């Protein structure tokens, strides 16, 4: 396993997952409710930043690796899934939205693995629609974790759930996109199931 700054940042993101979740279950004697929201949102924002930073640094420093390419999406999916489950537990977003997003992540990860075994992983490589989906869900999660005022008159719960609806739509759209790209690879190939 290579050890470099990008991989260290990815591991840091993995470590932030239980910390982010645990903050919301601290008693008021340790951290008041408003501070839990702010602290949890800051931790999640830091994790989201490391998602960008590790990829940027890996390319910039020439420190890309097969292990980093494996660990980065795993860390991304873990933090998103943990945050979505937390938001459902806190009654800040509906469970069906979380299920769609988490279900899509599992399905597309499995599809990518299958396509890699067939030697066609590039046909389901991350596309622009996937990046839009990720941005929408990160913004939605951040707002819903914060769950407080940003500008007087703007409710982050409503705005966060509106972004979550956009994220769900982009999630379904990107899933269809990736499935169609994979279907093109299957045409003319004998597939053992």
**Token reading at 107:** 């399905």
Residue intervals in the chain for CATH 1.20.120.1760: 1-91
Q: What's the CATH superfamily of 1-91?
A: CDP-alcohol phosphotransferase transmembrane (TM) domain (1.20.120.1760)
- Over residues 65-92, the mean pLDDT reads 92
**CA 148-159-43 angle, 5° bins:** 50
Per the CB < 8 A criterion, the answer to whether 2 and 10 are in contact is no
pLDDT at 97: 97
Compute how many other C-beta atoms are within 10 angstroms of the C-beta atom of residue 89.
Answer: 13
Number of alpha carbons in the 13 Å side-chain half-sphere of residue 86: 26
d(CA 81, CA 147): 18
Residue 19 pLDDT more than 60? yes
pLDDT top residue among 92 and 192:
92
């Amino acid at each position: 396993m290579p050890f470099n700054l990008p991989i260290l940042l990815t591991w840091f993101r993995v470590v932030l997952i239980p910390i982010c979740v645990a903050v919301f279950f601290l008693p008021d004697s340790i951290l008041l409710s408003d501070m839990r929201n702010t602290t949890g949102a800051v931790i999640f924002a830091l994790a989201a930043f490391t998602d960008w930073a590790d990829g940027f640094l890996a390319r910039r420093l020439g420190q890309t690796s097969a292990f980093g390419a494996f660990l980065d999406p795993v860390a991304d999916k873990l933090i998103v899934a943990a945050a979505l489950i937390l938001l459902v537990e806190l009654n800040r977003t509906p469970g069906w939205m979380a299920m769609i997003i988490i279900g899509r992540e599992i399905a597309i990860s499995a599809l990518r693995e299958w396509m890699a075994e067939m030697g066609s992983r590039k046909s389901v490589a991350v596309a622009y629609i996937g990046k839009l989906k990720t941005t929408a869900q990160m913004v939605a999660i951040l707002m819903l974790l914060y769950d407080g005022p940003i500008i007087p008159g703007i409710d982050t719960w409503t705005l966060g759930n509106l972004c979550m609806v956009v994220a769900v739509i982009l999630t379904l759209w990107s899933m269809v996109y990736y499935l169609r790209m994979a279907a093109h690879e299957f045409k003319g190939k004998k597939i053992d199931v």
